Amino acid sequence: MTDAASSSARITGLTTRILRGGLPRAWDGGVRANHVVAVDVRCSDGVVGHGFSWTPRIGPRAVRSLLEHDLAPWATGRPADPETLWDDAWAYLHEGGGGGLTTIALAGLDLALWDAAGRRARAGVPDVVGRRTSDVATYASGVNLDYELPDLLDQVGRWVDDGFDAVKIKIGSPDLTRDVTRVRAVRDVLGPDRALMVDANQRWDLPTAQHAIDTLAAFDLTWVEEPLRADDTRGYAALARTSPVPLAWGENGHHVHRFRDMVDNAAAGVRILQPNIVRVGGYTPFLRIALEAIAAGIEVAPHLLPDLSAQAALTLPAPTRVESIDGAWLGDLGLLSAPSPVRRRGTRLEVARAPGWGLTFRGQRPADAGASGDATAHR
């Protein structure tokens, strides 16, 4: 999908920096910030591509180390084509693990190479790949398990006022009665015609999940997300045999082969896949995952990072919803020095035509956001 010029250009260098973005309100568990490892990749034709790795709190320095000490020397001199490079890069890092920190680090390189391909073509990545739609639907979401009920209902009421027809809230309280009270109250605010999704964030074992889902199904749930540990394929298969609610999975899937296992294992019963573009290793594997899932009749709903997910969603052959989570947009976190190309139009997202991903991170010069960059500027 990238052009011939990408394959003729070579990588000449890679630099990184860690950016910390404070959350407007701490997430459950005391998470007060998200971290981005901004990645600049220089190419032999003078183009500089900008990418990033992302992690809320665990491992930003480890990710940066993998990029600078392992990926940078390995990638230097190789083709600046992300599709050509990705499999070899993943195989190279595999000694350190097939997914997790390795794929999060690899995403920074992959996204930067896609950004360079767009800048080289003086086009946005969705235009290089091919836009299939003009805008993308969203659903409202919040990290709100620790909210007191009035605060939760205020948040959901604001989403309704903003026009959202689908929302997601957190569940998984130690006492199921609390979850029931909250879900019932949220359903009352939403009414019968809006979609309600719930996310347990891997908090349950199988018996707990079976009982909780059976109980919460009374509130007409669109999906229950990550009821079990993401690694527990056997548990998902057992849960799917009895669950009256569709199961969603994927934000903690870390490589294409794990997603293929879940797609191919129909017994696992996952009907909505939620790959996180950074955690799976970048746009290259995300697109493979999404296309294979769609071909298998499974819905794809990208996890978080709407500034990136909305752009990727434009290139998919089936409609999807992108998660719009309160306070987690890159601009909301104070990580961007120029407006994101992803614009909110009511509850839908539009993507302006800007070179590459169109994302200018804090500390980048305005000239760095153009169609090409000065290869000496990042040394």
Catalytic machinery residues: 170, 303
Strand pairing report for 195-199 and 11-27? unpaired
Distance between CA atoms of 159 and 153, rounded to whole angstroms?
10
Residue 156: count other Cβ atoms within 10 Å of its Cβ.
26
Question: What is the C-alpha R_g of the chain?
Answer: 20
Distance between CA atoms of 118 and 122, rounded to whole angstroms?
6
State the residue for tokens 């010069």: 365
Q: Which residues pair with 199 in a beta bridge?
A: 170, 225
DSSP 8-state assignment for residue 339: -
Nearest to 187, CA basis, from 169, 172, 204, 175: 169
Distance between CA atoms of 111 and 115, rounded to whole angstroms?
6
Residue 207: count other Cβ atoms within 10 Å of its Cβ.
10
Reduced to 3 states (helix: H, G, I; strand: E, B; else coil), residue 240 is helix
Q: Answer whether 76's CB lies under 8 Å from 12's CB.
A: yes
Query: How far from chain centre, in Å, is Cα 7?
Result: 27
Q: How far is CA 354 from CA 283, 312, 334, 359, in A?
A: 17, 14, 20, 9
